[in-house]
Chain A
Amino acid sequence: DIVMTQSPDSLAVSLGERATINCKSSQSVLSSSNNKNYLAWYQQRPGQPPKLLIYWASTRESGVPDRFIGSGSGADFTLTISSLQAEDVAVYYCQQHYGSPTFGQGTKVGIK
């Protein structure tokens, strides 16, 4: 199985400041057939199910604010929240869907 490792495990950012979450996969999740990275990001607010934010590593799901930015390729990916809002307090997970789906351990984002 592909192992996904996120860093940091948690971070606290001031409102309006940038939050950056990293995600590394144990092997590349870039498809040679279509040049797409099979990497998604989810947000899970307390007591809620996960919500899809980003797919193909950088494509924002419909309705997701443009402050959420996905980047990276191959085995190294980043989710950036460009200007943290109070409603962004949540745990964020990366997931690869190149093979059997696996998730990172999650990164808890809070307010400083």
Chain B
Amino acid sequence: EVQLVESGGGLVQPGGSLRLSCAASGFTFSSFSINWVRQAPGKGLEWVSYISSSSDIIFYADSVKGRFTISRDNAKNSLYLQMNSLRAEDTAVYYCARNLCSGSSCYSDYWGQGTLVTVSS
């Protein structure tokens, strides 16, 4: 059974940092690209970042570029999101999602349960 389990969320002050993790199981993690997608309370879905299976291709949304860093450790079946210079507008549930891709185009077939990040003083 495919499982994605996020962790690392919590309350952080504006300007602070947080590192999210996503533990994968039930599939060959090293064969799949992964997205981070977030959802602000009561709002819609926003794509945050993409990492290819071998980490050679990485993309960020403009809203987080220069502040967030995505990475993965295929030996540990884990994905990470380092979030720096956090702002109130980064408050959201953060999901990791496995991608199925055709060329450069990917959609997400499995999603974790999410971890809540709250940025507030």
- Chain A residues close to B by CB (< 8 Å): 31, 33-34, 36, 38, 40, 42, 44, 48-52, 55, 61, 93, 95, 97-98, 100-106
Contacts and interface: CB of A to CB of B under 8 A. Distances in A.
19 contacts: A31-B105, A33-B103, A34-B102, A38-B105, A40-B107, A49-B113, A50-B97, A50-B108, A52-B109, A93-B44, A97-B106, A97-B107, A100-B61, A101-B35, A101-B47, A101-B107, A103-B44, A103-B47, A106-B44
Q: SS class of chain B's interface: helix, strand, loop or mixed?
A: strand
A55 B97 CA distance: 15
Interface string B66-80: 000000000000000
Contacts, number: 58
A95 B102 CA distance: 15
Nearest to A47: B113
Interface residues of B, number: 24
Given A49-B113, A49-B114, A104 B44 contact: yes
